[in-house]
A and B are shown apart, each in its own frame.
Chain A
């Protein structure tokens, strides 16, 4: 049983305390939501988890082992996959090259790749396309697929941003499927659309003034 947890993590930007002794644990088989007002530190928390930002205080544990000093790519290899808020792909590489590259990094079995591609519905006709020839939805789906390949813990920052509710649901379905089948142990989603969170997430963390208040029902938050 693997788990990702953070204990008493604090992060300061110059004088401003963004995360104040945050403690949080991702449990297996759950889609977890991280909610809070704009600028309350949701993205900062994900960046701390992925290693893009170094936290000032506290510890991050993966399977009980402290991973504070690991770099971004080491955490990625350990299974912490972060998707960024804006759509990011390697603009000069074709879709096929994206897939080849990520596959070469994680060395999955053929059958896993085929199944993953089926779940994520990656179209073989788009293989020779460059990212700027894809729609936003296809871009996000490709990004999600690349993140899922190596992921044990998926950290999504606004997965559905800029997409219609139907498209966003499709992406959330993919994540839910992967979490339910056990490929991805759990996921932490930042999302502004209440209906998506109500539909998919079973656990909620509410971040306010840098402090986590766990398991608050979503309607309480929105008020």
Chain B
């Protein structure tokens, strides 16, 4: 696809049976460049001259140019014939018709056959450049939007592949356990039976969490999530989150601590968004902690922003792991995390939410000592684009 696009240069093929005209075109385009503001590119032109329709077709077959300037009236294959030939091929180029017999009929039939523009003879060098500039700019825009479209498709495909994999894994595990239970001879020990049922439930809960996270993320990305901003005290959101995460923390003997100002920490915010942010942070800090560890939620009220910092005393991450952390579905997989379940979408959601407040998510970590996630939320809130 578009392999013929050379960095910074467009190839212009000129087909005209009058030598004087070919040389005039070449002279007019020599050293001429077209600037593309969107990409900051300055496109130079390489001009190739041929003296007939047949030669044009041969040259195009050899190497697809970007722009073709076609004389309408040539002996043998005419400009329109070349257009017809091009029409049958889906080539990534633009054709401009040049003709002395500027009639509306020729213009219409040329346009029907896919000519991008029509340049009546005689023309000044300036008129030629205007026409070529338009064609180059248009082609560059078409190619750019096609590239963006392809990139979007690729990212989407990758997201769905990984998502499918993440959904398949718990299903496979649960299915496997069910087959074990189906084999009535396999499990005679009640402890084994209990362990199997527990694992099935754990994998189910994990899968449901993934689906909920996915819905949260989809709503955030599509902007369809209705935000209800009100004057919040962020300390209340911390209280709610610590209550929610209390049982999980207790089951791992993790102590939940808070450090915050004595007076309300005010922010124009959507309480449910604050809830998702804090639950994400605290739940990660509990999950990736060690047995008997600590989680500290620290609130800071600055003139222009509220800072939420959640620290754990857990397994931490290496600089290399930190580098990969914020990619979708990147769950740091190592021997320390292999039994920890997560959707891999939590941090992506966190970032999206922080950006709704013009804020960001930061992280610092020391392996085997712990990690601190810091979310800054700007006040007054900046609306989503």
Instruction: Determine if chain A interacts with chain B.
Output: no
